[in-house]
Amino acid sequence: MADFSTNIAQFQRDGTYVYEFDDQGNLFFNSGSSDFSQVYLALPLTNYVYNETKVEHFYDPAFVEFSPTTTASVVTVNVDDLQTQLGVLQQENLTLKSQLDDFIAQNQVTSAASNSQAVQQIILELRIALGQGRVAANFSSTFPYAPLTPQTS
C-alpha cells in the first residue's frame, strides 16, 4: 500500500492514482489520518430504482429516432414544368455568367491601369531622386517617362 502523499505526487506528475477499496466497497484515501472524512469516501453499490410513471410523465422512453416511417410520400411532378424551370434557370445562369465576365474584364482593365500608374509613380520618384527633375511635370507622360528637355529657340 502506497503512502497518501506518494499517491498525490504521482497523480500530480502523470495523472494516475492508485485507488484503494476496503471489503465493503468504500474508497479510502489517507489511511493514516485521524480525521474519518479524510480516510473514507463512500460509494453506493446499489442500483437506483426509478418510478417509471414519473419518468414517462416528463420523457418519452420509446425510441422514435430509429423507427421506420410508415407513410410513403408520393410526389407528382409534371415533366413539362420541370423542363420549363430548367430552361429558366439555365437562362439566368447564362445572364449571370455574362455579367460576371463583364465584371472580370472591367476589373482587369482597372487593375492594369492602376498597375501602370504605380509603375509610373515609382519610376518618377526614382528619376527625381537621381536629380533628373523636381516634379512629375518635368517628365514625359509615356513610358519610360524620360525627363523633358527645355526647348531652345
Phi/psi of residue 54, each to 5°?
A: -70, -40
Domain of residue 114 covers 79-138
Q: How far apart are CA 123 and CA 117, in angstroms?
A: 10
pLDDT, residue 40, reads 65
| Total structural domains within the chain | 2
53 with 89, same domain: the answer is no
Is 43 inside a domain boundary?
yes
Is 63 inside a domain boundary?
no
Tell me the sheet residues that pair with 147. Answer: 139
Phi/psi of residue 128, each to 5°?
A: -65, -40
Is 146 inside a domain boundary?
no
47 with 83, same domain: the answer is no
pLDDT tens by residue, the chain, 153 residues: 457 778 778 888 888 877 777 787 777 777 677 776 666 665 567 777 888 888 888 888 887 777 777 776 777 778 888 999 999 999 999 998 888 888 888 777 777 777 888 888 888 888 888 888 888 888 888 888 888 876 444
C-alpha cell of 40?
Answer: 473514507
